[in-house]
Amino acid sequence: MFEVEQLAGTWWMFVLLGFVGGIVCGALGIGSGIIFVPALVIIFSTEQKDAQGVALAVMVPMAMLAAFRYWRNPNIDVNFNLVALLVVGSIGGVLIGTEIANHLPGHWLRKAFAVLMIVAAVRMFTMGPKQPGPADGTPEKPQAARTL
């Protein structure tokens, strides 16, 4: 990873990367990993596992601030029951996931990360508009009464 001496001339590039990552995180609701991991690996030649660790460490304060700002917006419903359920599942999942990452070579993690991003991008790009209804918890619009 980078030593303090190596960062002396390039610190501003990391601040700029953090700024861009923060904008994307706040605007699109994504974690920092989707921006920071590829940038650290491709641009700064950081090892995959090091980049993942940095992205996860950055994610905590950034995500908490973004979540707080979303929560403060009266037009956005941050459902804390859903948050709690996701946290419970993610704690167990992250323990298993970090164990897997510790045992896999970095080049396999990089490939898995790339495939995940491609699959998610294709799926999101090809999705149609969301249709409200009982499946997502929103009430259906009442139907007009039929007259004979």
Predicted pLDDT at 8: 72
70-95 pLDDT, tens digit each? 999 999 999 999 999 999 999 999 99
Angstrom distance (rounded) from CA 36 to CA 42:
10
Angstrom distance (rounded) from CA 115 to CA 135:
29
Residue 80 DSSP class? H
Predicted pLDDT at 2: 63
Predicted pLDDT at 137: 56
Angstrom distance (rounded) from CA 101 to CA 15:
27
Predicted pLDDT at 132: 67
Predicted pLDDT at 140: 53
pLDDT band at 135 (very low <50, low <70, confident <90, very high): low
> Which has the closest alpha carbon to 47: 4, 91, 109, 94?
109
Tell me which of 146 and 42 has the higher pLDDT: 42
pLDDT band at 32 (very low <50, low <70, confident <90, very high): confident
pLDDT band at 4 (very low <50, low <70, confident <90, very high): low
For the chain, the average pLDDT equals 86
Which of 36-45, 108-117, 127-136 is predicted with the least confidence, judged by mean pLDDT? 127-136
